[in-house]
Amino acid sequence: MTQKVRKAVIPAAGLGTRFLPATKALAKEMLPIVDKPTLQFILEEALKSGIEDILVVTNKAKRSIEDHFDSNFELEYNLKEKEKNDLLKLVDEATAIRLHFIRQSYPRGLGDAVLQAKAFVGNEPFVVMLGDDLMDITNPNAVPLTKQLMDDYEKTHASTIAVMPVPHEEVSAYGVIAPQGEGINGLYSVDTFVEKPAPDEAPSDLAIIGRYLLTPEIFAILENQAPGAGNEIQLTDAIDTLNKTQRVFAREFKGDRYDVGDKFGFMKTSIDYALQHPQVKDDLKQYLIELGKKLDDTK
Ligand code: UTP
């Protein structure tokens, strides 16, 4: 019988160097998209997918994550007193999510961050959701990518990694797959998984994005994984090893992905989301139209 996927691990212990200096003391996973922290979108995707138990991997600089998902008695009392019930509801939404936390002592890489979840996960399949990668946040009707991976697992009983095509010159920022053939309905068998290949050595333009469904055998591999690209323990390298003893599939994501950990990615995420936000969308649209005219005039 297939084991149900119930648990999610959210690595959020990276240094966020692409977003310095903002991320010196502030967790990039807490950067707000209009008015909601990035991480809250990810938790919503997890819950919408049917995940029941969530572990966030943090470090000592990321206290704000634990605080955000804890109650804030003073704030709640104050909002209640002033009968600001709409705001109270928004604040309560964050507190209602039950989370576990563990710290990664040193930023040794994504593979090492996932290894911290070994005891939490036990002997079950689980998902990894990267704390700075948002999917389909402007399309509430889309099937969440995490759910797509879980649906694949029901059929294949195998690890499945989300991928999507990226511009060829950008492949070296990602893990990349060497697919076997064309894939069936967006699901690929994979020959190899390669972390950060040079563009002329990349086996394809299908890059690994921030959602993974993994079987627990990954932990034994991670425990012995030598540092790879960037001298970090790479999850991609461990997945490549796993693929040699049990099948690992890749699921092509067809929706919109937002890389909040990148400065321009963060700006695009904020604009796209704001264009749907009831409180700001009209003003923003007007502003963008005026800005477009100004830019035209300066051509
Ligand atoms: P990134 O490479 O995007 O994160 O890792 P980073 O290292 O924080 O960012 P830059 O490149 O320096 O700007 C992908 C995910 O893995 C987590 C990050 O928090 C991010 O969600 N991660 C990475 C860890 O939890 N621990 C690590 O040691 C490395």
pLDDT at residue 97 in the model: 63
**In this predicted structure, what is the pLDDT of residue 233?**
96
Domains and CATH numbers, the chain: 7-258 (3.90.550.10), 262-299 (no CATH)
* Residue 87 banded pLDDT, cuts 50, 70, 90: low
Residue 32: Cβ-neighbour burial (10 angstroms; 0-12, 13-18, 19+)? exposed
Q: What is the mean pLDDT of residues 50-62?
A: 88
The model's pLDDT over 24-45, given as tens digits with 9 standing for 90+, comes to 888 889 899 999 999 989 998 9
Contact 15, 107 (CB under 8 A): yes
Cβ atoms of 235 and 111 closer than 8 Å: yes
> Which residue, judged by its Cα, is nearest atom 1 of ligand 1?
14
Question: Would you say the C-alpha torsion 227, 229, 230, 234 has a positive or negative sign?
Answer: negative
- Residue 14 and residue 108: Cα distance in Å, rounded? 9
Please identify, by atom number, the ligand 1 atom nearest to the C-alpha of residue 106. Answer: 28
State the distance from the centre of ligand 1 to the C-alpha of 12, rounded, in angstroms.
Answer: 7
pLDDT at position 61:
76
**Rounded-to-integer distance, Cα 125 and Cα 149, Å:** 11
Question: For residue range 107-148, what is the model confidence (pLDDT) as tens digits?
Answer: 999 999 999 999 999 999 999 999 899 999 999 899 999 999
Q: Which residues of 69-100 are buried (b: 16+ CB within 10 A; e: fewer)?
A: beeeeeeeeebeeeeeeeebeeeeebeeeebe
pTM score above 0.85? yes
The chain-wide mean pLDDT, for the chain, equals 90
Contact 6, 98 (CB under 8 A): no
Q: For a pLDDT cut of 70, what percent of the chain falls above it?
A: 92
Higher-pLDDT residue of 267, 87: 267
- In this model, does residue 78 exceed pLDDT 80? no
pLDDT level of residue 95 (50, 70, 90 thresholds): low
Residues with beta carbon inside 6 Å of ligand 1?
Answer: 11-19, 57, 104, 107-110, 112-113, 130-132, 261
Give the distance, in angstroms, between the CA of residue 236 and the centroid of all CA atoms in the same chain: 15
Q: Name the 3-class secondary structure at 161.
A: strand
Residue type, 64: S
Q: Which atom of ligand 1 is nearest to the CA of 232?
A: 28
Handedness of CA 3, 144, 119, 67 (dihedral sign): negative
The position carrying tokens 């034994």 is 220
Let me know: does 30 contact 64? Beta carbons within 8 Å: yes
Q: Could you tell me how far CA 201 lies from the centroid of its own chain?
A: 26
**Closest among 57, 72, 74, 52 to 13, alpha carbons compared:** 57
Reported confidence tier of residue 67, pLDDT bands at 50, 70, 90: confident
Which residues lie below 8 Å from residue 65, measured CB to CB, with a gap of 6+?
Answer: 12, 27, 29, 30, 39, 56, 58, 101
Task: Extract the tokens encoding 204.
Answer: 């394809």
Using CA atoms, how far apart are residues 248 and 159, in angstroms rounded to an integer? 5
Residue from 10, 15, 128 to probe ligand 1 pocket by mutation (most atoms less than 8 Å from CB): 15
State the Cα–Cα distance between residues 266 and 90, nearest whole angstrom. 22
CB of 238 within 8 A of CB of 128?
A: no
Question: For residue 52, what are the CA distances in angstroms to 37, 66, 71, 98, 122?
Answer: 20, 18, 20, 9, 15
Spacing, Cα 192 to ligand 1 middle (Å): 22
| Dist. CA 156 → ligand 1 center (Å) | 29
> Are residues 175 and 195 in contact, defined by beta-carbon separation less than 8 angstroms?
yes
Tell me the pLDDT tens digit for each residue of 98-107: 689 999 999 9
Total count of residues recorded for the chain: 299
pLDDT value, residue 98: 67
Confidence of residue 180 (pLDDT cuts 50, 70, 90): very high
Contact 152, 187 (CB under 8 A): yes
Q: Residue 69 pLDDT > 80, yes or no?
A: no
Please report which confidence band the pLDDT of residue 63 belongs to, taking 50, 70 and 90 as the band edges.
confident
pLDDT tens string 230-273: 999 999 999 999 999 999 999 999 999 999 999 999 999 999 99
